[in-house]
Each structure stands twice: as C-alpha cells, then as structure tokens.
C-alpha cells in the first residue's frame, strides 16, 4: 500500500468526523464524491471514483502537476501534464497496478487479482464486502449516527501496532453483537465467537464490524453491556459485562447503556500507513450507526 504522511492526507482529504460534515474524508453532505464525473462536491473535498476519468470518457483536470491524491481508498493518483493540460492519471496501487472503483460511492477497490471476503453489508464497494463510505452521510443507511460517541484514536490521529482501536456506543438499550457471542465478564475478551455471518434485517452483520480496504475486522474485546441474542430487545436480559474504559473527553453519552468495542491493531495485519476506517454498529433495537474516521497506523 502506498503510505502517505498525515500532512499529505490532509492535503487531499478534509478529515472532520463523518456524518454529514462538509468536506469530510469521505465527502460530506456539502462535499460528497460525485459518481457521475469523478470530481469532488461543490463545497468540499470529496474524491472521484474513476481514476481521473469521468464516466463519459472525459478527463479530470488537476493542479499543480506532480501532486498526488488518494483514490479507490487504497490507491493513489498523480497529476500529470503541464499547465492547463494537467490531468489526474490512472488510480494505481503501491505496485503500480491499475485499480478501478465502484461507479457509485467509491467503495473498496475492485482488483481482479485480489480476493476480498464477502463479509456482509449491502454496499457497492469492491465486491460488496465493504459498505460504501458515503453510507456515513446517508441517513437512510446511517439511521442513528449519534450512538457512536467516541473513538480512539481520534479522527486523523495515530496508533501503534501494539495499540488498540476503540469505539464507544451509547443507547437506551444494550447494543447487539453476534448471536451467541460469549465474552469474559472481567476483561471483555471474546471467549467464543458468535455467529458472525448472521445479518440483521438491514443486511448488515449483527457483529460490530470495522471495515478497512474491503475487509471486515471483528472486535477482539467487547466491554460494557451487550445483547447477544438479536433481534430480541424488548424485555431482554443482558449478560454481566466487563467495565468499559473511560469515554474520551467531550463525548456525549446521555443514554442508559454504554458499550465499547475494541480491536487489537496487531490482529489486523496492516502495514504502517493512513487508512480510511469505517465502523458499522447496531444499537439495541432497530437502528444502526456508520462511523468513518481516518486512522494512521505507525
């Protein structure tokens, strides 16, 4: 994977948190990516999807020559040419192989030489295994984004390979996890995975999931209250839960139940670099939240 510094990423991606912020890292409500022409939104910095070419065969101009930007989540493009004739070149991976993206939503790169797991989610990224980043800003998909109340690392911040990625979920009921999931009540470690192929009626996995580069990653620990027998929520009784870590400062958690999902970075198998991370989490009844942040792995 081509590794960009945080400063370089900031130059091509605006990185306030997702959920409709103008010019977010996935194209906010005023800066969304335009699937018809590959260009950014009118008021933001959304990225196009077609490797520098518009869907009707045109060329997307750029400036200055020699600059780079991300594309297809994992690839990069270079601004080639001179003056008014400069245009974005093809989207390529770190080995120089051309990548293409989904025409609507800029999901995971479609690389015929790479096999991605079909891990759930009805999105149009890659082969359908990754919900598309614009889901963060689509209220028909991201139906209750406010249940995601905190992230570690924070958006745009870094974490070491021996560190952890965490997200806190706050709702009026304990959040759902995979059916039958067994969790250590002291540490939160998952002692027996539940049915992680089971999907909610919305066709997303019940299990809290972190999507990076078209792959689904499941938590290594779940702390706080949880419901491991979806879709039952009325009158549900919750297992004894491990104490959560302190919620990040400034988080607004006013509902009754706060859970925490934890991923050990070492379990992800990712090289150092900057990644677009997408969290899909169900609340304790009928809604879901999709959260998108940029994470730098050192």
Q: Where do the structural domains in the chain lie, given as residue ranges?
A: 145-297
How far does CA 118 lie from the centroid of its chain?
16
Which value, to the nearest 10 degrees, does the dihedral of the CA atoms of residues 132, 137, 139, 143 take? 80
Looking at per-residue confidence, does 138 or 130 come out higher? 138
Region for 250 from its dihedrals, namely left if φ exceeds 0, alpha if ψ lies in -120 to 50, beta otherwise:
left
Please list the residues that pair with 70 across neighbouring strands.
76
Beta-ladder partners of 230: none
Lowest mean pLDDT among 33-37, 63-67, 143-147: 33-37
pLDDT digits (tens, 9 = 90+) for 196-236: 999 998 888 999 999 998 789 999 999 999 999 999 987 77
Dihedral through CA 288, CA 292, CA 293, CA 296, nearest 10? 100
The per-residue pLDDT for 22 is: 29
pLDDT at 83: 59
Q: What was the pLDDT predicted at 260?
A: 96
Q: Is 145-297 in CATH node 2.60.40.1220? A: yes
pLDDT of residue 6: 34
Task: For residue range 43-61, list pLDDT tens digits in order.
Answer: 333 333 333 433 333 356 7
């Amino acid at each position: 994977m081509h590794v960009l510094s945080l400063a370089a990423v900031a130059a091509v991606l605006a990185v306030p948190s997702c959920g409709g912020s103008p010019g977010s890292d996935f194209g906010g409500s005023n800066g969304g990516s335009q699937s018809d022409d590959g260009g950014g939104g009118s008021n933001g910095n959304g990225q196009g999807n077609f490797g520098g070419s518009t869907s009707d065969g045109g060329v997307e101009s750029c400036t200055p020559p020699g600059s780079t930007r991300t594309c297809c989540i994992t690839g990069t493009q270079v601004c080639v040419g001179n003056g008014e004739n400069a245009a974005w070149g093809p989207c390529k991976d770190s080995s120089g192989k051309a990548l293409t993206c989904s025409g609507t939503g800029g999901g995971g790169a479609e690389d015929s030489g790479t096999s991605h797991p079909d891990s759930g989610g009805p999105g149009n990224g890659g082969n359908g295994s990754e919900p598309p980043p614009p889901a963060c800003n689509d209220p028909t998909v991201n139906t209750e984004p406010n249940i995601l109340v905190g992230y570690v690392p924070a958006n745009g911040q870094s974490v070491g390979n021996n560190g952890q990625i965490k997200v806190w979920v706050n709702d009026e009921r304990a959040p759902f996890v995979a059916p039958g999931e067994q969790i250590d009540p002291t540490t939160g470690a998952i002692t027996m995975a539940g049915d992680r192929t089971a999907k909610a009626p919305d066709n997303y996995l019940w299990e809290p999931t972190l999507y990076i580069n078209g792959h689904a990653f499941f938590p290594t620990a779940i702390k706080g209250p949880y419901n491991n027998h979806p879709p039952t929520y009325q009158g549900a009784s919750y297992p004894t839960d491990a104490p959560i870590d302190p919620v990040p400062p400034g988080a607004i958690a006013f509902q009754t139940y706060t859970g925490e999902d934890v991923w050990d970075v070492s379990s992800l198998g990712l090289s150092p670099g900057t990644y677009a991370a997408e969290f899909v989490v169900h609340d304790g009844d009928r809604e879901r939240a999709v959260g998108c942040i940029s994470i730098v792995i050192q």
